[in-house]
Amino acid sequence: MKKPETSLLGANTQSKGTINNQAQALDEGCTRCQACISHCAFLQKNGMPGDIGASLLAGEAPIDPFACSLCNLCTAVCPADIDPGAFFLELRRQAADQLPLKPYATILGYEQRGSSPLFSWYGLPTGCETVFFPGCSLPGTRPEATWWLYRQLSKQVPHLGVILDCCHKPSHDLGRHPFFVDQFKAINDRLMTAGVRQIIVACPNCYKIFQEYASGISVSTAWELLAESLPDLHLSAITPVQVTLHDPCPLRDNQDIQQAVRSLISGQGLKIREMRHSKKRTVCCGEGGSVGSVHPELASRWGKIRRQEAGDDPVITYCAGCAGFLSRAGIKTIHLADLLANPAKALSGKITASRPPWTYLNRIFLKKRLQRALRPDQD
Ligand code: SF4
Ligand code: SF4
């Protein structure tokens, strides 16, 4: 596991400086090489990051940062080592006060319900220093696989607790920074007070949020822990087939997690064919930055890239959000948790992810099941 972060909440944001400083850095640092725009429809529409920075400094009409998926592919491929992704997030924060929230009512309602008393729960048994934080989407769409993950992890981690809550990534990405900071700080404070020092996540978005903002708490993924115990997993025998793999963009810089996932998949006897855009250069599934709520034509461009690169191979991913978006783009998609929990059924396409309103019922039933299993000291 990584060491606990000691940075203060939000300090990272402050250190990025003002929008004008960031715009100047883009203008001066960008060599206009065009490496970043070849697969990004947002940049194809708005121009190279250096030109976007220059036009902002010149007081020209601003671009719409809510059309950027915040996937950071531009940052990943930039040979000049500048960070357009951080600039577009900061632009969102500057514009958030004027942002009409109506188009985002679905995602913000989802976030609000995730942290409500009905769906959230802190199961912290005596002696608990490590918790499993499965996020919102996985328990709703795949309660059996979430339960399987919890059972496997609890064999490896003594006094493992479970937290059902929302990390508030939707508000983070919509630039609602003061709200996000308040909500996330409440989670962080509650965990610290309870003595929790390590958190195991199953969602790439939760990982990114905890990695960037948690104070005094380290974060790792369920996939890394499971890969450590691969010989003990007793995975069932399946017909070896070729699959391909979609890395979620929040984890593009996390090679250890990417490798752990590949070990788990090849440990099943499956042959992995890497797509052109994988690992550090992976592309967004279409969900990033809630762009689909306001610019569905831009969001769907990512799915087209994935469909072309996947061909006829089943695509395995380790993000419930990505799994949903890729499936809706017509790609045969399998969540890694389903593959591990029930490989034969997952590969035969017989596992169907639940959809609303069943996702909410699933979360309530899973919460009850976990409460019975944990007999916690507090809830
Ligand atoms: S959509 Fe991704 S690649 Fe395009 S500008 Fe935004 S962060 Fe960069
Ligand atoms: S890859 Fe970097 S240097 Fe090249 S156009 Fe994009 S931002 Fe500018």
pLDDT of residue 87: 96
pLDDT of residue 144: 97
Q: Where are the alpha helices (DSSP H) in 96-176?
A: 105-114, 137-141, 143-156, 169-173
- Ligand 1 binding site (Cβ under 6 Å of any ligand atom): 40, 42-43, 68-74, 84-85, 88
Q: Is 262 left (phi over 0), alpha (psi -120 to 50) or beta?
A: alpha
pLDDT in tens, 86-108: 999 999 999 999 999 999 999 99
Residue at a domain's end among 39, 74, 98: 98
CA of 72 to the centre of ligand 1 (A): 5
The order of strands in the sheet holding 218-221 is 121-123, 161-164, 130-133, 198-201, 218-221
pLDDT of residue 17: 54
Residues 110 and 93 in one domain: no
CA of 74 to the centre of ligand 2 (A): 7
pLDDT in tens, 222-233: 999 999 987 666
Model confidence band, residue 39 (pLDDT cutoffs 50, 70, 90): confident
Q: Per-residue pLDDT for 11 more than 80?
A: no
Counting other chains too, the contacts that 29-35 makes at CB distance below 8 Å and 24 or more residues apart are 29/80, 29/81, 29/82, 30/78, 30/80, 30/82, 31/79, 31/80, 33/79, 33/80, 35/77, 35/78, 35/79
Model confidence band, residue 14 (pLDDT cutoffs 50, 70, 90): very low
CA of 16 to the centre of ligand 1 (A): 18
Q: Ligand 2: which atom is nearest the Cα of residue 29?
A: 3
pLDDT of residue 12: 40
Model confidence band, residue 18 (pLDDT cutoffs 50, 70, 90): confident
Residues 272 and 321 in one domain: yes
145/363 Cα distance (integer angstroms):
12
Residue 153 domain flag: yes
User: Measured between alpha carbons, how far is residue 121 from residues 27, 109, 124 in Å?
Assistant: 47, 18, 9
Residues 135 and 199 in one domain: yes
pLDDT in tens, 309-324: 999 999 999 999 999 9
Residue 91 near residue 142, CB atoms below 8 Å: no
Q: Hey, what are 125's tokens?
A: 């048994």
pLDDT of residue 282: 98
Residues 298 and 149 in one domain: no
Residue 1 domain flag: no
Residues 27 and 83 in one domain: yes
- Nearest ligand to residue 43 Cα: 1
Range of the domain at 168: 105-228+356-374
Q: Per-residue pLDDT for 286 more than 60?
A: yes
Average pLDDT over residues 53-69: 94
Average pLDDT over residues 52-74: 95
Q: Convert 177-214 to b/e letters by CB count within 10 Å (16 or more is b).
A: beebbebbeebbeebeebebbbbbbbbbbbbbbbbbbb
Residues 93 and 132 in one domain: no
Residue 320 domain flag: yes
Q: Ligand 1: which atom is nearest the Cα of residue 72?
A: 7
pLDDT of residue 1: 36
Residues 247 and 338 in one domain: yes
Q: Per-residue pLDDT for 5 more than 70?
A: no
CA of 253 to the centre of ligand 2 (A): 18
Question: Chain-wide mean pLDDT for the chain?
Answer: 92
pLDDT of residue 66: 97
Residues 223 and 322 in one domain: no
Q: Per-residue pLDDT for 235 more than 70?
A: no
pLDDT of residue 117: 97
Residue at a domain's end among 59, 79, 98: 98
pLDDT of residue 137: 97
pLDDT in tens, 125-148: 999 999 999 999 999 999 999 999
Residue written as token pair 């600039």: 87
Residue at a domain's end among 68, 98, 128: 98
Residue 3 domain flag: no
Q: Ligand 1: which atom is nearest the Cα of residue 41?
A: 4
Residue 259 domain flag: yes
CA of 283 to the centre of ligand 1 (A): 9
Looking at residue 200, which CATH number applies to its domain? 3.40.50
Q: Ligand 2: which atom is nearest the Cα of residue 48?
A: 5
Residue 290 domain flag: yes
Q: CB under 8 Å to 308, separation ≥6 — which residues? A: none
Residues 199 and 308 in one domain: no
Q: In percent, how much of the chain has pLDDT > 90?
A: 88
Q: Per-residue pLDDT for 261 more than 80?
A: yes
Residue 160 domain flag: yes
pLDDT of residue 231: 67
Total domain count, the chain: 3
Residues 224 and 327 in one domain: no
Q: Per-residue pLDDT for 2 more than 60?
A: no
pLDDT in tens, 189-215: 999 999 999 999 999 999 999 999 999
Query: pTM value?
Result: 0.93
Residue 362 domain flag: yes
φ/ψ (deg, to 5) at 272: -95, 125
Residues 193 and 220 in one domain: yes
25/19 Cα distance (integer angstroms):
10
User: Measured between alpha carbons, how far is residue 354 from residues 41, 91, 93 in Å?
Assistant: 31, 35, 33
Does ligand 2 come within 6 angstroms of the Cβ of 319?
no
Residues 204 and 139 in one domain: yes
